[in-house]
Amino acid sequence: MFITFAIIVFAVFARAQGTFEGRGGTVQLTLGKFEHNVLEAPTLVFEVKNGTNRLLTWVTVECGFYSADNNLIAADHALLKNILPRDVGVGHSSATPSARDAVSARCRIESVEYN
């Protein structure tokens, strides 16, 4: 079964949360630290909590990186696989160094596949 849904959450140097209520429980996206790595590329760490009683075989998280004037300057997709029921998967999203002017990120769970 393949279920697609969107959760938009905002992060500007802080944590944010979004929750999807589905059959059998929730899938929760929590954004962590937004920073620039040693190459000056913007990077965002996140976690996906599987609050269901089913294996999440595939979770796609989409993140956009924004400038101070709220223009989208880069985007990335991250994939988490095989998150066990009631467990947490950790991932990260990064843009290229050309997006070094990014000051915030907005992310959403783009899709989830259950087993």
The pTM (predicted TM-score) of the whole model is: 0.80
pLDDT surpasses 80 at 17: no
Instruction: Lay out the sheet containing 88-94: strands in order across.
Output: 16-22, 25-36, 42-50, 88-94
Closest CA to 106 of 10, 13, 36, 38: 10
pLDDT at 69: 96
Which domains does the chain show, CATH number per domain? 2-114 (2.60.40.3230)
pLDDT tens digit string along 63-80? 999 999 999 999 999 999
Dump pLDDT digits (tens) for 34-73: 999 999 999 999 999 999 999 999 999 999 999 999 999 9
At 8, the pLDDT band (50, 70, 90 cuts) reads very low
